[in-house]
């Protein structure tokens, strides 16, 4: 693998992911993948903190909504609210670590498994379409892709999550909306939205640096 990544093609996934995030016509489509990871973060955090997950919705405007039942305040609710903007970054750096450990197959099939676990909780047709399309794309690459194709696909997905999540955080900070994650966190913790934004940006940048080191410094 080291010899493969020694040439210029190592930077293709990063360049492609940057194009998918920075060019708005493509971003309007690929943002659904970031939203999927974002809502998965809310869902996993809700279950992990003892809340009852009741539904997930993914909308055609690239927004999403995860509903859970439990105490309306407290650490569990804070973790659940914060997990959305943390999840894509953490999934991205975890994926880079798995590839560095030669666990590319585990990464791809693990992604398929996570998507499959979300299916019973989807509450709208468009959300189901996003899950089926995403799961099918990853599954086809995992089953039929050559090692080179799988490697390029895996790293492109990783950088899409890392760069895409950073863009969504910046956009949410510049254009705050009532009822957003940042708004909920402000109400739950009494910390300004900007404090949470800075925290999420720091995590996004930090995980990006770690992913870069895992891919290019290995």
The average pLDDT across 83-101 equals 96
The average pLDDT across 118-124 equals 96
What are the angstrom distances between the C-alpha of 46 and each of 43, 56, 98?
5, 12, 25
Provide the pLDDT for residue 179.
77
- Domain of 45, in residue numbers: 4-216
* Contact between residue 169 and residue 23 where contact means Cβ atoms under 8 Å apart: no
Provide the pLDDT for residue 177.
79
Question: For all residues of the chain together, what is the average pLDDT?
Answer: 93
Q: Is the pLDDT of residue 15 over 90?
A: yes
* Contact between residue 176 and residue 153 where contact means Cβ atoms under 8 Å apart: no
Provide the pLDDT for residue 116.
96
Per the structure, the count of domains in the chain is 1
**What is the number of other CB atoms lying within 10 angstroms of the CB of residue 3?**
6
Predicted TM-score (pTM) of this structure = 0.93
Q: In sequence order, what are the residues at sequence separation of 6 or more whose Cβ sits closer than 8 angstroms to the Cβ of residue 78?
A: 185, 188, 189
């Amino acid at each position: 693998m080291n010899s493969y990544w020694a040439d210029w093609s190592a930077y293709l996934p990063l360049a492609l992911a940057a194009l998918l995030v920075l060019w708005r016509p493509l971003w309007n489509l690929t943002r659904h993948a970031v939203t999927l990871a974002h809502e998965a973060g809310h869902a996993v955090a809700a279950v992990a903190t003892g809340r009852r997950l009741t539904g997930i919705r993914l909308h055609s405007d690239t927004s999403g909504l995860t509903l859970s039942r439990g105490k309306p305040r407290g650490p569990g609710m804070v973790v659940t609210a914060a997990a959305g903007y943390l999840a894509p970054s953490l999934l991205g750096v975890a994926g880079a670590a798995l590839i560095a450990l030669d666990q590319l197959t585990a990464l791809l099939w693990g992604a398929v498994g996570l998507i499959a676990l979300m299916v019973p909780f989807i509450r709208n047709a468009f959300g189901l379409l996003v899950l089926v399309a995403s799961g099918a794309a990853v599954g086809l690459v995992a089953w039929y892709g050559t090692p080179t194709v799988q490697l390029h696909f895996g790293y492109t997905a990783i950088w899409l999550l890392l760069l895409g999540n950073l863009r969504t955080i910046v956009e949410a900070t510049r254009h705050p909306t009532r009822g957003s994650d940042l708004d909920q966190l402000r109400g739950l913790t009494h910390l300004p939205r900007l404090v949470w934004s800075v925290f999420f940006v720091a995590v996004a940048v930090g995980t990006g640096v770690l992913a870069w080191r895992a891919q290019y410094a290995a």
